[in-house]
């Protein structure tokens, strides 16, 4: 059982779930949904589906990296369970199949609970859910869009816009300006986590043929890109907080400090390779804190 839990990469789960929870909080704050048992059950099923999709993506990522050979070269970051000899490729295939089934079950339940009275909405979110599951698997398997530098775009879409705005729309059947601002901010902070990984694995990615954004633009521009992502995330976070309540804009800056510290460390040219490994966790937790903090401020203002 321990190997399955380790392969889930538990440290990645707070980021994906916090963005979805932020979207749900916005839905409740905009009076688009009542905080009753029915809507809370809907919200829980949406969060559970998001967590399962993240785990599915992690399993598929290990599987794809093993096939491509990226995980077989010397790399300063995390080594997959297969490379460690604790899991087999067959284990990963079974895990991916089980998680696809679980995502299908919880996803359909979420869509049914939220859209059973609207067939157009039901069909739309079934398609969106299928796209999310496909994107989770094909990140490194099949089309492997992350290997051609499109990982950042897909992370922005699914971990930002879809996670926040999609969750808000699922529950309230509407979208809002705070939702859009928060979605853009969450998308940028999620890309920051990926970019730390790409900066850390720059050398091994070149050897393995993985053309990440950092490999394409180089380390120097990759670091500039990292700070630009933080700047957009910070601007969207403060703007969203101000939109909900003026005093919340000042308070939101406090939640941005841990992410800023991680970003400055990551962008420092003196830190590369293994030295960036601690920043994976720090950036993920910092981004999660921004989402959770913003959600708290919106709840308090509402």
For 74, the 3-state DSSP assignment is coil
d(CA 106, CA 94): 18
Query: How many CB atoms neighbour CB 65 within 10 A?
Result: 26
Look up residue 11 and give its DSSP letter: G
The pTM assigned to this predicted structure is 0.89
**With 60 as the cut, is the pLDDT of residue 73 above it?**
no
Q: Give the pLDDT confidence of 232-283 residue by residue, as tens digits.
A: 999 999 999 988 776 767 788 889 999 999 999 999 999 988 899 899 999 9
Other beta carbons within 10 Å of 81: 22
Torsion sign across C-alpha atoms 148, 274, 3, 56: negative
Reported as a pLDDT band with limits 50, 70 and 90, residue 24 is very high
Place of tokens 């700047």: 231
Where do the domains of the chain lie? 2-301
The two structure tokens encoding residue 156: 């922005």
Residues in the chain: 302
Q: What is the dihedral of CA 94, 99, 100, 105, to 10 degrees?
A: 130
Task: Work out the number of other CB atoms within 10 angstroms of the CB of residue 8.
Answer: 17
Residue percentage of the chain with pLDDT more than 70: 89
């Amino acid at each position: 059982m321990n190997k399955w839990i380790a392969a889930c990469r538990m440290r990645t789960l707070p980021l994906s779930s916090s963005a979805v929870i932020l979207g749900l909080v916005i839905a409740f704050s905009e009076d688009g949904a009542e905080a009753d048992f029915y809507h809370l059950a809907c919200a829980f099923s949406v969060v559970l589906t998001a967590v399962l999709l993240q785990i599915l993506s992690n399993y598929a990522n290990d599987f794809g990296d093993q096939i491509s050979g990226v995980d077989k070269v010397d790399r300063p970051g995390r080594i997959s369970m297969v490379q460690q000899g604790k899991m087999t490729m067959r284990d990963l295939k079974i895990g991916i199949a089980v998680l696809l089934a679980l995502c299908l079950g919880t996803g359909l339940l979420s869509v049914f609970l939220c859209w059973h009275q609207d067939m157009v909405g039901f069909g739309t979110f079934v398609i969106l859910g299928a796209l999310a599951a496909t994107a989770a698997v094909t990140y490194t398997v099949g089309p492997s869009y992350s290997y051609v530098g499109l990982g950042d775009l897909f992370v922005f879409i699914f971990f930002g816009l879809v996670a926040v705005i999609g969750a808000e729309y699922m529950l309230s059947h509407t979208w809002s300006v705070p939702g859009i601002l928060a979605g853009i901010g969450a998308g940028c902070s999620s890309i920051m986590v990926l970019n730390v990984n790409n900066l850390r694995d720059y050398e091994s990615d070149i050897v393995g043929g993985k053309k990440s954004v950092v490999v394409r633009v180089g380390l120097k521009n990759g670091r500039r890109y990292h700070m630009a992502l933080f700047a957009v995330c910070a601007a969207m976070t403060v703007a969203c907080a101000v939109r909900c309540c003026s005093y919340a804009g000042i308070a939101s800056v406090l939640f941005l400090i841990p992410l800023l510290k991680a970003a400055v460390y990551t962008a420092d040219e003196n830190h590369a390779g293994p030295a960036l490994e601690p920043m994976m966790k720090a950036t993920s937790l910092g981004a999660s804190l921004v989402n959770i903090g913003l959600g708290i401020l919106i709840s308090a203002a509402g």
